[in-house]
Structure 1
Amino acid sequence: MNFIKYIDLLKRELAPALGCTEPIAVAYASAKAKKVLGFMPDKVEVLVSGNILKNGMGVGIPKTKMTGLDIAAALGVIGGNSNAKLEVLKDIEDKHIDEAVQYLKDNNLKIKLKDTKSKLYIEVICKKGQEESKVIIKDEHTNIVYISLNGEVLYEKEEKEENKIEAKVNKEIETSKGNLEISIKEIHNFATKVDFEDIKFLLDGAKMNRRVAKEGIEHEYGLKVGKTFHESIGKGIFADSIESHAIAITAAAVDARMDGCALPVMTTAGSGNQGLTCTLPVVAVFEKLGSSEEQLCRALAISNLVTIHIKSYLGRLSALCGCGVAAAVGSSCGITYLLGGEYEAISYAVKNMVAGLSGMICDGAKQGCALKISTSVSSAIQSAVLATNGIEVSCKDGIIHECVEQTIKNLGNLATVGMVDTDKVILDMMVCK
């Protein structure tokens, strides 16, 4: 087994981000377009796919106490650091925010819906007089596929390269080392046999996300789901249990992130909330059980890789909630490992989770995500407990197949084929309010 490819995959798919990845990707594209132009534009036009619009409408932008793609794009143009990619707004100061607000008031920036088949598409055009720059991001949040200045193409990624980035039904995941076949069995084999030192870097992401959870518990963000649950533990409402602890710290981190917390999170498969959901429940179990750092690290490898595995079928953006149907499944597998489960039990956990949460929709990034994720974390722990007791949902139930890999494929087909119209209906409901 080629462990190096799995390590490379983890390093590629886990990245720090400041703010929700969809508006931050817009900020990144805007900062890049401004840099290509060479000076402050008079007008900026931002064209995005429906899923980018959906995930950028209601989420807080770091340091601003504001929401929306427009303020994200304006900040990217005015004070963004394009070299920092998903941390593009890390150097933003109050003066930049004031300038961005005025820039929007002066009607210098427009957000428009792009008619495109790509679920993740961002096009930014910056203009000043006769000068014009254009930057296009497609399929991944930092995947720039096109750059031009005054009609001259400076960079264009070949179509065949772009297609490699799209999720594939044949389950080949591109890494910097080539294509890698991945499965639940191979994930378990890797995570339990790889040298601890080779995956120790996963602890950095866990610590980063745990800091955001602490911030969410100690301060008031969003709906205060995590903070409220944490303060209710031991008061006759929530027991001081693994489940309560996991729900509280995960929801608190999501509260903070969705409300514009100025701390970075470690993302998984292109999403900060996915990173929080597949990491923090596992950390919570580690804290309560007193597991070793090595056990935690191996559990995190399982959790993150299962999330990446499932997301490769769902695509970067989907009508299904990636946290509920991918990241929480990953965390359930990691928790199953910490509870002593081997490959068979981990497969059971996947089936149990898909049976319970496969219908959870994504209606945009927003404060309410903390509620969905708290529900998902609860299911993750319940599914892990059942799995370690030898209990799995029958293949006679719904989309569950006897083979765990086919169960994941069925989930992917539900999202990419069965829910195409659902995505459109959700967006219509959101923009017509």
Structure 2
Amino acid sequence: MDTEYYQNHLKILKEELIVALGCTEPIAIAYAAARARDLLGAMPERCVVRSSGNIIKNVMGVTVPNSGGMRGVAIAAILGIVGGEADRELEVLEAVTEQNRAEAKRLSESNFCTCELIQNVSNLYIVIEVWGGGHQALVEIQDTHKNITRMEKDGEKIPVQIRLEHSDSSEPKGDRSLLTLRNIVEFADAVSVEDVAPILEPQIQYNMAICEEGLKNPYGAEVGRVLLDGSHEPTVGLRARAYASAGSDARMGGCALPVVINSGSGNQGITVSVPVVIYAQEYHAEQEKLLRALVVSNLVAILQKRYIGSLSAYCGVVSAACGAACGICYLLDYPYDVLCSTITNTIGTVSGMVCDGAKSSCAAKISTALQTALLGIKMSLHERSFQPGEGLVNDDVETTIRNIGRMGREGMKGTDLEILNIMLGN
């Protein structure tokens, strides 16, 4: 494979598959708040959070990790301030103590933190401003969950060096526009296992662990546990859905276990990886084959999200489930045409599922998306696929992906705004 494509695709995996603790939107708020406190150099006396509608939507209904069951934008910011460790980035709340939780609860019941919706900004946008000791500090995050784009103290801009210290972002980012289904499969065939194992093995370890936790204990709506209830010998497909759903049950329910994310989302990271692992276990696949299949699943999901965007009214687990199905096809040595038809069948069916925030129903949406994706595989194996001209389906899978992405990015803007207005009671 061409060296440029090889290095590009490897770089994308390194950038996307990172560890996060809990739902990434409240974590991003907590991270920005912890950075703002450090910049201020003292415990703040007052805090203001200004964020985009999509951030608010994805924080309102989800339990902030390590919060003891508390929810909301203010709690995420306050917990980041009183107990966050900014150098841990998306694991910023890992070391929160009971004392920190009590202090956060006390401050949340006062006028310490106010929250405001800010419009006409990117879908992922957060500004934390704090005051204390006669000083002011501000931290801004845009586009991705730890992408600090502005820092100020007492009105003076501070050079943004955080990302250079803790990542490889001093180098150019991987070019998502170079991704195609064909070269993703070629990359999976050619990549050195030594290059991808350090990226993918944590995804297997962490994401399977939180799924097992979700099956053992009652989190959220217990979608994963309900799926397996009464099934003495569940099929591999049912187990794949149940495990992935249980991981979301735990994560949306405030479980403190970390996950490896995809496209900025823990739910998408779980959905894109765990079903492939379950199928690998069922078919006794070798570790190398599993890792190559995970390369396919992750990059196919990222390919779709390139057109949709990080946050929108389009439910991202659809892209992740479609990616997982392609990973399963690769694992089982199905022909390339089957992968193409599987994508068409999946996103041609369930792409209209909306995102109305992070919450317990995400687990059920994961199950639904995976059920559709597995049906997409079965249809493909029976040489059945939706045809060009049927809705958004084109005669070329890349164009079909772009069509669906345009619908999610542009066509669902009004839907996104209306969902937010309903959630805010407007």
Gap change, CA 1:342 and 1:203, over 3 Å in 2: farther
- Whether the 8 Å CA contact 2:261–2:270 is kept in 1: the answer is yes
Instruction: Select between 86-95 and 60-69 the one with higher mean Cα deviation.
Output: 60-69
CA contact (8 A) 2:215 2:224 kept: yes
Q: How does 1:244-283 map to 2 (within 5 A)?
A: 244-283=238-277
CA contact (8 A) 1:226 1:255 kept: yes
Question: What SS does structure 1 have at the residue aligned with 2:159?
Answer: strand
Q: Which residue of 2 aligns with 1:369?
A: 362
Distance of aligned partners of 1:179 and 1:56 in 2 relative to their CA distance in 1, 3 Å threshold: closer
Q: d(CA) in 1 for partners of 2:106 and 2:228?
A: 39
Q: Residue 254 of structure 1: CA displacement?
A: 0.4
Paired residues of 2:33 and 2:80 also in contact (CA < 8 A): yes
Q: How far apart, in 2, do the equivalents of 1:356 and 1:179 lie?
A: 25
Q: 2:157 corresponds to which letter in structure 1?
A: V
1:12 to 12, 15, 19: 15
Once structures 1 and 2 are overlaid, which stretch shifts more, 83-92 or 121-130?
Answer: 121-130
Q: Is 1:98 equivalent to 2:102 in the alignment? A: yes
Aligned match of 2:147 in 143, 148, 157?
Answer: 143
1:207-222 map, 5 Å = 207-222=205-220
Residue of structure 1 in register with 2:158 after alignment: 154
Deviations 1:96-138, CA, capped at 9 Å, x for gaps: 0000011111220011101223100000000125310000000
Give the whole-Å Cα distance in 2 for the aligned partners of 1:177 and 1:314. 17
AA paired with 1:204? P
The two structures, once aligned, show a CA RMSD in angstroms of 1.6
Which residue of 288, 291, 295 corresponds with 2:289? 295
Letter in structure 1 aligned against 2:196: I
- Overall identity of the aligned pairs, in %: 38
Work out whether 1:419 is the aligned partner of 2:416. no
Q: 2 CA distance for matches of 1:303 and 1:67?
A: 32
Aligned to 2:400: 407
Partner SS state of residue 112, structure 1: strand
Q: Tell me how far apart the structure 1 counterparts of residues 56 and 234 of structure 2 sit (CA, whole Å).
A: 39
Residue 118 (structure 1) aligns with:
122
In 1, Cα distance between the equivalents of 2:308 and 2:133? Answer: 42
Q: State the one-letter code of the partner of 1:69.
A: V
Question: CA shift at 1:387, angstroms?
Answer: 2.2
| Aligned counterparts of 1:195 and 1:143: Cα–Cα separation in 2 | 29
Q: Closer, same or farther in 2 for the Cα pair 1:374/1:408, shift >3 Å? A: same
1:88 maps to what in 2? 92
The range that moved more, 31-40 or 411-420, is: 411-420
Maintained 8 Å contact 2:176/2:306? no
Q: Distance in 1 between matches of 2:111 and 2:14?
A: 40
Deviation per CA, 1:127-154: give whole Å up to 9, x if none: 1253100000001100000000000100
> Which whole-Å CA distance do the structure 2 matches of 1:231 and 1:258 have between them?
21
Structure 1 residue 382, shift from structure 2 partner: 1.4
- CA distance in 1: counterparts of 2:31 and 2:223, whole angstroms: 30
Secondary structure at the counterpart of residue 318 of structure 1: coil
Q: Secondary structure at the match of 2:387?
A: coil
Contact 2:280/2:290, CA 8 A, preserved across alignment: yes
Residues 22-101 of structure 1: pairs in structure 2 closer than 5 A: 22-63=25-66, 64-101=68-105
- Kept in 2, the 8 Å contact 1:214–1:249? The answer is yes
Please give the per-residue CA displacement for 1:59-117, whole angstroms capped at 9, x wherever unaligned. Answer: 11112212212111101011101111100001101110000011111220011101223
Q: Superposed, which structure 2 residues align to 1:363-402 within 5 Å?
A: 363-402=356-395
Q: In 2, are the aligned partners of 1:5 and 1:175 still within 8 Å (CA)?
A: no
SS at match of 2:158: strand
Question: What do the CA deviations read for 1:22-64 (whole angstroms, capped 9, x no partner)?
Answer: 0100000000001000001110000000000000000111122
2:51–2:117 Cα contact (<8 Å) kept: yes
Q: How many residues align?
A: 413
Amino acid at match of 1:306: V
Question: For the residues of structure 2 that align with 1:86 and 1:329, how far apart are their CA atoms?
Answer: 26
Residue ranges of structure 1 left out of the alignment (5+ in a row): 158-164, 166-173
Partner in structure 2 of residue 191 of structure 1:
188
For residues 330 and 66 of structure 1, do their structure 2 counterparts lie closer, same or farther at Cα, with a shift above 3 Å needed?
Answer: same
Unaligned stretches of 5+ residues in structure 2: 162-168
8 A contact 2:137–2:153 mirrored in 1 = yes
**Equivalent-residue separation in structure 2 for 1:100 and 1:373 (angstroms):** 32
Distance verdict in 2 for CA 1:223–1:393, change over 3 Å: same
Partner amino acid, structure 1, of 2:189: T
SS at match of 1:155: coil
Cα distance in 1 for partners of 2:121, 2:108 equals: 29
Measured at CA, do residues 403 and 303 of structure 1 come closer, stay the same or move farther in structure 2, by a change above 3 Å? same
Distance 1:191 1:388 in 2: 22
> How far, CA to CA, are the matches of 1:129 and 1:374 in structure 2?
50
Q: Distance in 2 between matches of 1:4 and 1:388?
A: 33
Give 1:177 shift. 6.0
Q: Quick one: structure 1 residues 135 and 363, their matched pair in 2 at CA, closer, same or farther if it must change by over 3 Å? A: same
Contact 1:133 1:148 in 2 (8 A): yes
After superposing on structure 2, the runs of 4+ consecutive aligned residues of structure 1 that deviate more than 4 Å are: 177-180
Return the alpha-carbon distance in structure 2 between the equivalents of residues 177 and 104 of structure 1. 40
Which residue of the partner structure matches residue 160 of structure 1?
none
Q: Given the superposition, is the C-alpha separation of residues 411 and 180 from structure 1 closer, same or farther in structure 2, using an over 3 Å criterion? A: closer
